[in-house]
Chains A and B, each alone.
Chain A
């Protein structure tokens, strides 16, 4: 250690530095731990739905006796209904379901045996479908149409129908390879369309048979009677699924949400809890920042005369600040390193329990990364404070310093 550093470190209080490192460590650990747990557990909520994002809700009006008796309009969304929904603060965007205005029959033939069924199609704007653009598109003249069916349909077939009818069970991969013959016909039976369908994906959340929007527009113009009817289902992209305001709005407007929402509610709750924990960690980190700033500034205050005299001898400002800066780096580095080690220990506590639930990994890296960025911020703020303090010592008058 040089003579300059020896002089400047005079009056250093190890207890205060350890106090800083400890409080910074605790703050970083809490924040890093919260981030790590959030990232690790996110998989539980997100993984089962890969094709349609969990933040999407499918909304429809409740079916009443009136609608059964023929008043179809009561379950349709008017333009003002849609506009009102779009105006809600928790809504990012709203997509309308388009229904097919024609009849659809689908048939599968496999190994000499055939199956045929009446079917229907719906479509939503393509931006709501998380499939690659190449797998989910249609242009007039194309002979193959991508189709998405609910996962439940496959389960229904595999575990209900196939056993009783003596048919083989089908995997997702297998069924995706089977060509589907689609036969479409207008209401009056005069116009027909024959195409091949291919299963492009399975969805948990959308309880319908989905085709690309472009195909729906094309087929409706070819086979439909031209009337545009209001949608009876909407797909809504919400900013925080599980928000109480959403449930309130839906029930007060007589709306239903398709599919299970418990996952998104739990995910929302998790977000809130993680948010609170991170706020506590943030507060502790902020306090540790001030503890460090205060103790370094106190130390520099005590050594003010020494600093001034060194500057009068021509010592560069950077060199005078260096012993304090390195002290800060050391403290922050130690706090971060400790918190990273503690994160590894923390993860081993819950890793076993989470793995069974299909958790994702990588939380460790995120937790340590966020803690590292925070430690850097704490160090940078203090570095700037040291530089300013040295600069102010330069401007001292000798009589002030004495």
Chain B
């Protein structure tokens, strides 16, 4: 892996389950699409359009696709397990739709755990994000006892606590009110700008309010 991944390219990519089906109009599947470092992308789809599949392909959780997925010039199918782990630690941050928090750990421990895996994290920045998203008072509560909306904010902060070139957000604000949506969007914009990274946000109708995103219909 190089210091940065500049471009993620989907070349005629298609989930294998879609292969024998009549595909509705899509700006992503079976086309050549590139996500560039530094860009802002909003991928919108109807439910069942395959957005979680796309996120799973890019993070290496699934490989059941046709076509090609390239990180710069490197074919994703040639990556080893160790390569994928390094990719997840240093190049691609991911907030899954199901959040994947550890419910028995406190909010702050969930974030510290990420720091334990990915290396040092600026804890002052973390505390300020918690403050702005209004979850500081739940800092030491087991995540399992927080509301879904609060959990979503913890998971968003956790996804930012690592070096990355691309930030994948799968329905990051589905349980947030408009105010928190805006705050989350500002934080995402700040952090991606600081790291020079891209954000790729997925939505089925309640998109994160980042400014001037390039929109794609899945």
Chain A positions within 8 Å of B, measured between CB atoms, are: 2-4, 7, 10, 306, 309-317, 319, 391, 394, 397-398, 402
B residues within 8 A CB of A391? 81
B86 in contact (CB, < 8 A): yes
Cβ A313 vs Cβ B61 within 8 A = no
Return B186 CB to nearest CB of chain A, in Å: 25
Cβ A309 vs Cβ B117 within 8 A = no
- Given B86, B105, B117, which contacts A313 in the complex, CB threshold below 8 Å? B117
A residues within 8 A CB of B117? 4, 310, 313-315, 319
Cβ A315 vs Cβ B85 within 8 A = yes
Could you tell me the distance between the alpha carbons of A4 and B114 in the complex, rounded to whole angstroms?
9
Tell me how many residue pairs across A and B have CB atoms closer than 8 Å.
60
What are 11 pairs between A and B in contact, CB < 8 Å?
A: A7-B113, A309-B100, A312-B100, A314-B86, A314-B87, A314-B90, A314-B117, A314-B118, A317-B81, A317-B85, A402-B98
Chain B positions within 8 Å of A, measured between CB atoms, are: 56, 59, 61-62, 81-82, 85-90, 94, 96, 98, 100, 102, 104-105, 109, 112-114, 116-118, 162
Interface of B is mostly: helix
Cβ A3 vs Cβ B86 within 8 A = no
- Given B62, B81, B98, B105, which contacts A397 in the complex, CB threshold below 8 Å? B62
- Given A7, A311, A397, A398, which contacts B85 in the complex, CB threshold below 8 Å? A311
Cβ B113 vs Cβ A398 within 8 A = no
Return A7 CB to nearest CB of chain B, in Å: 6
Q: B158: nearest residue on chain A (CB-CB)?
A: A313
Q: A395: nearest residue on chain B (CB-CB)?
A: B81
Could you tell me the distance between the alpha carbons of A398 and B55 in the complex, rounded to whole angstroms?
11
Could you tell me the distance between the alpha carbons of A113 and B109 in the complex, rounded to whole angstroms?
101
Cβ A313 vs Cβ B81 within 8 A = no
Can you list the 8 inter-chain pairs with the closest CB atoms, starting with the nearest? A314-B88, A314-B89, A3-B113, A309-B100, A315-B117, A314-B85, A313-B117, A398-B61
Identify the interface centre among B59, B61, B96: most chain A CB within 10 Å of its CB: B61
Could you tell me the distance between the alpha carbons of A314 and B90 in the complex, rounded to whole angstroms?
8
- Given A313, A319, A402, which contacts B88 in the complex, CB threshold below 8 Å? A313
Cβ A3 vs Cβ B112 within 8 A = yes
Contacts A312-B61, A317-B81 known; 4 new A-B pairs at CB < 8 A: A7-B105, A7-B113, A312-B88, A319-B117
A residues within 8 A CB of B89? 313-314
Could you tell me the distance between the alpha carbons of A398 and B170 in the complex, rounded to whole angstroms?
14
With contact pairs A312-B96, A314-B86, A314-B89 given, residues A2 and B102 touching in the complex (Cβ less than 8 Å): no
With contact pairs A312-B59, A397-B61 given, residues A3 and B116 touching in the complex (Cβ less than 8 Å): yes
B residues within 8 A CB of A2? 116
A residues within 8 A CB of B88? 312-314
Return A349 CB to nearest CB of chain B, in Å: 50
Cβ B116 vs Cβ A309 within 8 A = no
Q: A4: nearest residue on chain B (CB-CB)?
A: B116
Could you tell me the distance between the alpha carbons of A306 and B102 in the complex, rounded to whole angstroms?
7
Cβ A398 vs Cβ B96 within 8 A = yes
B residues within 8 A CB of A319? 117
Could you tell me the distance between the alpha carbons of A342 and B118 in the complex, rounded to whole angstroms?
46
A residues within 8 A CB of B59? 312
Identify the interface centre among A2, A3, A317, A402: most chain B CB within 10 Å of its CB: A3
Could you tell me the distance between the alpha carbons of A100 and B2 in the complex, rounded to whole angstroms?
86
Return A305 CB to nearest CB of chain B, in Å: 9
